[in-house]
Amino acid sequence: MEVAEGVSAATPTEEMNGAGNLMDFLDEPFPDVSTYEDFHTIDWLREKSRDTDRHRKITSKSKESLWELIKSLLDAWSGWVVMLLIGLLSGTLAGVIDLAVDWMTDLKEGVCLSAFWYSHEQCCWTSNETTFDDRDKCPQWQKWAELMTGHAEVELPAFSGSGAYVLNYFLYILWALLFSFLAVSLVRVFAPYACGSGIPEIKTILSGFIIRGYLGKWTLLIKTVTLVLAVSSGLSLGKEGPLVHVACCCGNLFCSLFSKYSKNEGKRREVLSAAAAAGVSVAFGAPIGGVLFSLEEVSYYFPLKTLWRSFFAALVAAFTLRSINPFGNSRLVLFYVEYHTPWYMAELVPFILLGVFGGLWGTLFIRANIAWCRRRKTTQLGKYPVLEVIAVTGITALLAYPNPYTRRSTSELISELFNDCGALESSQLCDYVNNPNMSRPVDDIPDRPAGPGVYNALWQLTLALIFKIVITIFTFGMKIPSGLFIPSMAVGAIAGRIVGIAVEQMAYHHHDWIIFKNWCRPGADCVTPGLYAMVGAAACLGGVTRMTVSLVVIMFELTGGLEYIVPLMAAAVTSKWVADAFGKEGIYESHILLNGYPYLDVRDEFTHRTLATDVMRPRRNDPPLAVLTQDSTTVEDVETLIKDTDYNGFPVVVSRESERLIGFVQRRDLTLAIKNARQKQDGVVSSSVVYFTEDAPQLPASNPQPLKLRRILNLSPFTVTDHTPMETVVDIFRKLGLRQCLVTRSGRLLGIITKKDVLRHMAQMMNQDPESIMFN
């Protein structure tokens, strides 16, 4: 079945000649003519053609019987079923990951006596005797040192040097090392593809590249488990990027249930695009943002049907996650925030400054991280991935424990930084000097002078900022699952909160300054430091990933109001412009380039004046193009050609003299057809003539029986003239998803351009090493 579909797409006229003829092909037992090899590019037009054929077949059959009609309806519905399943599974996995990370992160510090599988928060919820204030100090939760020494001590301040502190510190590092060792070992042994964030590879796969196993069941299982371990180990990484990979693995898994998706690489990619949306949806609790992320950042071919289905998958995933309720607050979003005061025009200045910071951080991070990853690839360093992970984990744990802002999990940190200081807030960051006259616990608290806690927190945050900036550069790209969203946001949120507190204190102490006079009366609540943290987080995330609309929409879904879109947008735009000034590629594109994947970015504008003739092969001094003639090549010639070259296909011309193109034949099809004919068809020997025409050529009677191969010939190969500007060729490759394109002049075949040639030419034009494009 599969074979016939693949082949018939290329030669529909023959199918039209009669159903009998068609049936012949259906019966022929070619195993998998139409599948692609690993690390090769797919041909989108061909996949689309095959799907239309399949659809046509089902439609015409559906009129035959009720059973076929039901089957056709099931087929039409399978897309929605796959989306539902993806939503359910990715939502469930995200919930499980959240719960497990919560528990294991707390396990590094202590254990719940009433039930060891409870996290700190859950443990203290269940103990009834605690009030709100000492929620964190319930008797059921015991730190390791307390448990071991057998008596509950008063918690000691940082750097105290007491025995219990040192013991806790030591055990914290030990747990971290254990988790990360387990993670890196599992990845190395069972699923090497489970490392990294996965987004660069998913982008490449969605653009039409085959990486077998990258979205397999093993990868799914190992990535889920090791993601929990990696995040729990306290390394500076997030689970958001890998969740996209996990969701795509779910998508791929469910594709295999339906032949519509499993046998068509184009259709499969539609499902994967939707799965990516579901991944972001559960990562942030932002379904619309997820769909836009998939549209803007990862997808390549995104028809409207996919938009609608992605939205469905993203919603199902978000609601599944909410019904699991891992955050224990019925909230969908990762960081729920609610601010009580509007922002003022003058605040745009610090917001834009945060945007500049985000852009600079993005540039710095991308350059440093790529340099480090290149070093890892090219030097001895890459040979000891386990040691590297252990070392980085050790350093991270050692430096992180003493500082309360780095000791806790990064998402908790971001959550606290985003928060507005309410009246009941007990955190150090909210240690303001209260006005004695004000006793009502209202939301709208006026600006107050900072207390010693805030100043202390500022110092610790500054140290945390430097630590996070440095350690993230070395963490991203190690052989464990590691996302970049959370560390980037943390850097931005810390910087933003510091700026926010500074502005707030300035406004309080100097409200007679001209810049504050108009909007900040004494006793008013005019500056929300939490909003600055949010703007900073958006700026830094934007600088690293170069997301724009989806970033703003994700942030909008977190706050749930249009009120704060302008500050977010100002920061995101500034950050993108600043970062783009230093280099167009975001972190994902940079990693794609580093790995040499054949990715044709839709955002790159090709503006050079080269023509197709400058890019096509053969070049001026190369040997002529390897072609087949329509009726004068022998089986042996073909076999020699296949052996001597490694091209993916060969053009077929009328004759070597006229060089008039009649079609294109895939290497894989040719190999299989000849192997098959040699085995099953009598009279086919090495000297048999291979012909691609309708009728056999006139040959002397003494010649062996010729072999007709018209059915594997693509009679509609894509051609451009040699005068076509490369910008048009690039556009055609991008929009039609071509694998190769033949170059002609006045109907004569001159050469061929493959996707690799296009990418190499683009690299060359941008003064990059064309040899960095490695795959075809």
Backbone angle region of 546, left / alpha / beta, with phi > 0 → left and psi within -120 to 50 → alpha: left
Cross-sheet strand order for the sheet of 633-634 = 633-634, 689-691, 707-708
Q: What is the C-alpha to C-alpha distance for residues 441 and 421, in angstroms, rounded to an integer?
A: 12
Least distance (Å) between residue 338 CB and a copy of itself: 12
- In the window 317-376, what residues touch a copy of itself (CB under 8 A)? 318-319, 332
List the beta strands (DSSP E) in 580-631.
628-629
Q: Which secondary-structure segment (H or E) carries 633?
A: strand 633-634
Cβ atoms of residues 648 and 616 within 8 Å:
no
- In the window 574-633, what residues touch a copy of itself (CB under 8 A)? 602-603, 605-607, 609, 611-612
Which position among 315, 461, 541, 600 is part of the footprint of a copy of itself (CB under 8 A)? 315
* Nearest Cα residue to 552 out of 532, 563, 538: 538
Task: Identify the DSSP state of 347.
Answer: G
State which residue, 209 or 564, has the beta carbon closest to a copy of itself.
564
Q: What is the C-alpha to C-alpha distance for residues 108 and 169, in angstroms, rounded to an integer?
A: 9
State which residue, 314 or 503, has the beta carbon closest to a copy of itself.
314
Which position among 38, 731, 769, 771 is part of the footprint of a copy of itself (CB under 8 A)? 731
613-616: long-range pairs with CB below 8 Å, 24+: 613/722, 613/723, 613/743, 613/750, 613/751, 614/726, 614/761, 615/726, 615/729, 615/753, 615/757, 615/758, 615/761, 616/722, 616/743, 616/750, 616/751, 616/752, 616/753, 616/757
* Strands 740-745 and 719-721, sheet pairing: parallel
Least distance (Å) between residue 587 CB and a copy of itself: 17
* Nearest Cα residue to 638 out of 663, 680, 672: 672
Q: Is 549 near a copy of itself (CB under 8 A)?
A: yes
State which residue, 63 or 609, has the beta carbon closest to a copy of itself.
609
State which residue, 222 or 743, has the beta carbon closest to a copy of itself.
743
* Nearest Cα residue to 354 out of 465, 469, 450, 493: 493
- In the window 681-720, what residues touch a copy of itself (CB under 8 A)? 715-717, 719-720
Q: Is 735 near a copy of itself (CB under 8 A)?
A: yes
- In the window 550-579, what residues touch a copy of itself (CB under 8 A)? 552-553, 556-557, 560-562, 565-566, 569, 573
Residues 6+ apart with CB under 8 A from 469: 361, 364, 365, 491
Least distance (Å) between residue 610 CB and a copy of itself: 9
Least distance (Å) between residue 716 CB and a copy of itself: 4
What sign for the dihedral angle of Cα 607, 609, 613, 616?
negative
3-state SS assignment for residue 481: strand
Give me the half-sphere count of Cα atoms (radius 13 Å) on the Cβ side of residue 1. Answer: 8
- In the window 745-774, what residues touch a copy of itself (CB under 8 A)? 745-748
State which residue, 60 or 426, has the beta carbon closest to a copy of itself.
60
Residue 156 tokens, joined: 């000691």
State which residue, 331 or 675, has the beta carbon closest to a copy of itself.
331
State which residue, 217 or 331, has the beta carbon closest to a copy of itself.
331
The residue range among 176-184, 346-354, 548-556, 698-706 that interacts with a copy of itself, by the rule CB under 8 A, is 548-556
Alpha helices, DSSP H only, in 626-666?
635-644
Q: What is the C-alpha to C-alpha distance for residues 659 and 263, in angstroms, rounded to an integer?
A: 35
Cβ atoms of residues 411 and 284 within 8 Å:
no
Least distance (Å) between residue 548 CB and a copy of itself: 5
Least distance (Å) between residue 238 CB and a copy of itself: 22
- In the window 658-687, what residues touch a copy of itself (CB under 8 A)? 660-663
Least distance (Å) between residue 252 CB and a copy of itself: 24
3-state SS assignment for residue 694: coil
3-state SS assignment for residue 726: helix
Peptide bond connecting 618 to the previous residue in cis, omega within 30 degrees of 0: yes
Size of the site for a copy of itself (CB under 8 A): 75
* Nearest Cα residue to 687 out of 634, 640, 628: 634
Least distance (Å) between residue 535 CB and a copy of itself: 16
State which residue, 473 or 538, has the beta carbon closest to a copy of itself.
538
* Nearest Cα residue to 421 out of 391, 447, 401: 447
Q: What is the C-alpha to C-alpha distance for residues 467 and 155, in angstroms, rounded to an integer?
A: 25
Least distance (Å) between residue 776 CB and a copy of itself: 23
Q: What is the C-alpha to C-alpha distance for residues 388 and 679, in angstroms, rounded to an integer?
A: 53
Least distance (Å) between residue 546 CB and a copy of itself: 10
Q: Is 57 near a copy of itself (CB under 8 A)?
A: no
State which residue, 313 or 507, has the beta carbon closest to a copy of itself.
313
Which position among 35, 185, 721, 764 is part of the footprint of a copy of itself (CB under 8 A)? 721
State which residue, 140 or 744, has the beta carbon closest to a copy of itself.
744
State which residue, 561 or 618, has the beta carbon closest to a copy of itself.
561
| Terminal Cα-to-Cα distance of the chain (whole angstroms) | 27
State which residue, 106 or 296, has the beta carbon closest to a copy of itself.
296
Give me the half-sphere count of Cα atoms (radius 13 Å) on the Cβ side of residue 506. Answer: 14
Residue 387 CB neighbours (<10 A): 11
State which residue, 427 or 610, has the beta carbon closest to a copy of itself.
610
Give me the half-sphere count of Cα atoms (radius 13 Å) on the Cβ side of residue 407. Answer: 14
- In the window 462-501, what residues touch a copy of itself (CB under 8 A)? none
State which residue, 154 or 562, has the beta carbon closest to a copy of itself.
562
Least distance (Å) between residue 334 CB and a copy of itself: 13
State which residue, 332 or 674, has the beta carbon closest to a copy of itself.
332
CA 313 to each of CA 56, 200, 263, 271, 344: distance values in angstroms, whole numbers, following the listed order: 27, 22, 21, 10, 38
The DSSP line for 277-312 is: HHHHHHHHT-HHHHHHHIIIII-SS--HHHHHHHHH
Q: Which secondary-structure segment (H or E) carries 574?
A: helix 565-582
Least distance (Å) between residue 515 CB and a copy of itself: 22
Least distance (Å) between residue 83 CB and a copy of itself: 12
Give me the half-sphere count of Cα atoms (radius 13 Å) on the Cβ side of residue 116. Answer: 4
Least distance (Å) between residue 43 CB and a copy of itself: 11
Per-residue x/- track, 270-309, a copy of itself (CB under 8 A): -----------------xx--x---xx------xxx-xx-
Residue 566 tokens, joined: 């302008």
Look at the block and give the residue holding tokens 């000097």.
433
- In the window 6-25, what residues touch a copy of itself (CB under 8 A)? 9, 11-13, 15-16
State which residue, 14 or 420, has the beta carbon closest to a copy of itself.
14
The residue range among 167-175, 246-254, 371-379, 544-552 that interacts with a copy of itself, by the rule CB under 8 A, is 544-552
* Nearest Cα residue to 244 out of 301, 314, 326, 332: 314
Alpha helices, DSSP H only, in 423-547?
452-475, 485-509, 514-517, 529-545
- In the window 637-656, what residues touch a copy of itself (CB under 8 A)? 654
Least distance (Å) between residue 567 CB and a copy of itself: 12
The residue range among 65-73, 111-119, 257-265, 741-749 that interacts with a copy of itself, by the rule CB under 8 A, is 741-749
Which position among 166, 728, 766, 771 is part of the footprint of a copy of itself (CB under 8 A)? 728
Least distance (Å) between residue 717 CB and a copy of itself: 7
State which residue, 233 or 744, has the beta carbon closest to a copy of itself.
744
State which residue, 48 or 408, has the beta carbon closest to a copy of itself.
48
- In the window 100-159, what residues touch a copy of itself (CB under 8 A)? none
Which position among 326, 404, 725, 770 is part of the footprint of a copy of itself (CB under 8 A)? 725
Least distance (Å) between residue 609 CB and a copy of itself: 6
